[in-house]
Structure 1
């Protein structure tokens, strides 16, 4: 039986949970591991220590919008991509422009997007972003017709390794980026 009062044991418990979780774990989830016997500041200190412990290894502990997760360091992505040799599809320019407008101007309506882009938005573009769980309807604008308001999701932030929208790159860089579908 593990001794959850020992600092090293607590770090190992956190490490095991983070390494085996299929998604990022929020601070509240990580606190559950210790059944109310740990405070947030202690947990944050242990996570910082874990991050330091792993800095010379192939994985890194990162904080994203939904919590903390381990992921391979970027320098290994070329090699890991060989395990899944199919060419990953890329988003079209229309999809990237639409996503950029939503990310930087949210919440926005389809009409807002069309006004900014200067062309009609293909319904498949919105559907594709919703299926990817990068955008969602967050309400309706209080005007005739009550058009849907779109905003990005936490999943979007997680996929881009961001903690918040404030970490987004400049609009021009984002709009020209090639982000894989999978």
Structure 2
């Protein structure tokens, strides 16, 4: 094992979260070949109880998936999403950037403001920008936390409908014409949000909460 491999291994084991290649390179001596070291470590740990995995463009050591059952009693029970939240998250993941009205059109029911707020609070969804259409509605997309939670390297790795249901992310029969989104930046028909702007969605929700409704 090369010295660079040892250094990368030490950093990844000690890190509190996934690290990008640039994060690792910033901590190593100048000229260190981080991509080669990562590739070597990934091969070295393949098939072992701990493996090197890429999530959201970053790297971390994690328990091999086939051994996850051993950790069941030691894991904190995750907060379970309601069916409405699961369906909303699935629609956002496959249709992003998507507006609230578009979410309602796919689900066939009115989107609860509380449901969207839960997804925003958990960091699985973020506000991306405003659609260049009348009313300039806010659009939503998934976050790196979404990719990390479901163990995806990028949006291009989103599973098929059957796999989504098996993973517990999807529990309804949505249209079969879902397409994997382009993980690039803003849509050409989308304007960035002003950081000082209070989207009407949050304003409405907070207003209802303060009124006790």
TM-score with structure 2 setting the length: 0.73
Q: Residues 39-78 of structure 1: matches in 2 within 5 Å? A: 42-78=33-69
Which is worse superposed, 121-130 or 140-149?
140-149
Question: Deviation string for 1:112-140 (max 9, x for gaps)?
Answer: 00011110111121111111111100001
Instruction: Let me know the Cα RMSD of the aligned residues.
Output: 1.8
Q: Segments of 4+ in structure 1 off by > 4 A?
A: none
1:132 aligns with 2:122: yes
What corresponds to 2:187 in structure 1? none
Q: 1:87 offset after TM fit, Å?
A: 4.5
Q: 1:57 offset after TM fit, Å?
A: 2.6
What corresponds to 1:15 in structure 2? 9
Of 161, 166, 176, 1:171 maps to: 161
Q: Residues 18-167 of structure 1: matches in 2 within 5 Å? A: 18-38=12-32, 42-84=33-75, 87-167=77-157
Ranked by relative contact order (alpha carbons within 8 Å, sequence separation 6 or more), the top structure is 1
TM-score with structure 1 setting the length: 0.85
> Any conservation in 1 of the 2:4–2:34 contact (CA below 8 Å)?
no
Number of residue pairs the alignment of both structures matches: 169
Q: 1:142 offset after TM fit, Å?
A: 2.0
Give me the whole-angstrom Cα distance separating, in 2, the residues matched to 1:176 and 1:68. Answer: 25
Give me the whole-angstrom Cα distance separating, in 1, the residues matched to 2:142 and 2:165. Answer: 15
The answer for unaligned runs of 5 or more in structure 2 is 170-213
Question: Deviation string for 1:75-118 (max 9, x for gaps)?
Answer: 2222212114x644432221111111111110000000001111
> Any conservation in 1 of the 2:8–2:34 contact (CA below 8 Å)?
no
Question: Deviation string for 1:17-64 (max 9, x for gaps)?
Answer: 0011111101111111223222xxx32121111112222431100111
